[in-house]
Amino acid sequence: MSSGTDTRESVRDLPQATVTRLATYLRVLGVMADDGIHIVSSEELATASGVGSAKLRKDLSFLGPNGVRGVGYDVARLRSRIEAGLGLDQGHRVVLVGVGKLGEALARYGGFGRRGFTMVGLFDSGAERIGIDIDGLSVRDSADLVGACRELDATIGVVATPDDVAQQVCDDLVAAGVRCILSFAATPLEVPAHVEVRRVDLAAEMQVLSFRSARKTEADAAPAAVGIGGGSPRASRSTSTALGSTKNGSVIAP
């Protein structure tokens, strides 16, 4: 493939689970690049990402030819291909609405910039929050959200407000032309068909962790039961490893 546009075209209809894994590979590749690693094998990248090497190779095949058999993947080149596939090469301008404890923590997180996201606007309706400076950005009145989003050319809106105003904030973001919304509200948001919404439900994620922990506990108990009957503990350990292979899942469920 000859361009980032071609790569994006090839991954447009990928299953969400694959898109989520591509984001994980990108994060791992970033760490490797910081550590001075230039070439990585599929097995090494898969292990670091918490997936099987066959699944990783299938995911990356959607981006076109990448690795060299017997050599591995060029870390910088593969990062660029994944960034293009996820649309990150275009850059995104993010506005965040709701600068309470969660919102302020998100606003101060330094990792967004390293992954192609620039925080350009912070908004809140509380008089005690409006005007405060957070890492160089002054919190603005959310009453001005629609006009400010247009002025800032925002492409992603983050909703970290109380649930009772989340839908109104979402409507304002849509009115301003924002087509991608990340919501921390407990209730689903209604949006037009052309707008993408991702909802982060931390309680649900902890419930998933609870289930996987319980399942792994049962799997870990299996070797003892097998050992009583004289079975092979090696098979039990393999099962346990497979069951634990999802520990690096995304916080945002696919």
Read off the pLDDT of residues 45-76 as tens digits, 9 standing for 90 and up: 999 999 999 999 899 988 876 766 667 899 99
Strand partners, 44: none
The listed range with the strongest mean pLDDT (75-79, 93-97, 186-190) is 93-97
- Overall pTM > 0.75: no
Average pLDDT of span 24-42: 91
Asked if the model's pLDDT at residue 247 lies above 60, the reply is: no
Q: Which amino acid is at 59?
A: D
Query: How sure is the predictor about 226, in pLDDT bands with cuts at 50, 70 and 90?
Result: low
Instruction: Compute φ and ψ for 54, nearest 5 degrees.
Output: -65, -40
250 close to 24: Cβ distance less than 8 angstroms: yes
Separation CA 131–CA 137 (nearest Å): 9
Asked if the model's pLDDT at residue 210 lies above 50, the reply is: yes
pLDDT score, position 71: 77
pLDDT score, position 223: 62
pLDDT score, position 224: 56
pLDDT score, position 88: 75
- Mean per-residue pLDDT of the chain: 81
pLDDT score, position 234: 38
Asked if the model's pLDDT at residue 250 lies above 60, the reply is: no
Query: How sure is the predictor about 244, in pLDDT bands with cuts at 50, 70 and 90?
Result: very low
Average pLDDT of span 210-226: 75
Strand partners, 93: 118
Q: Which of 105, 218, 98, 103 is nearest to 164 (CA)?
A: 98
Average pLDDT of span 249-253: 36
25 close to 17: Cβ distance less than 8 angstroms: no
pLDDT score, position 239: 28
CA-atom Rg of the chain in angstroms: 22
Between 87 and 164, residue with greater pLDDT: 164
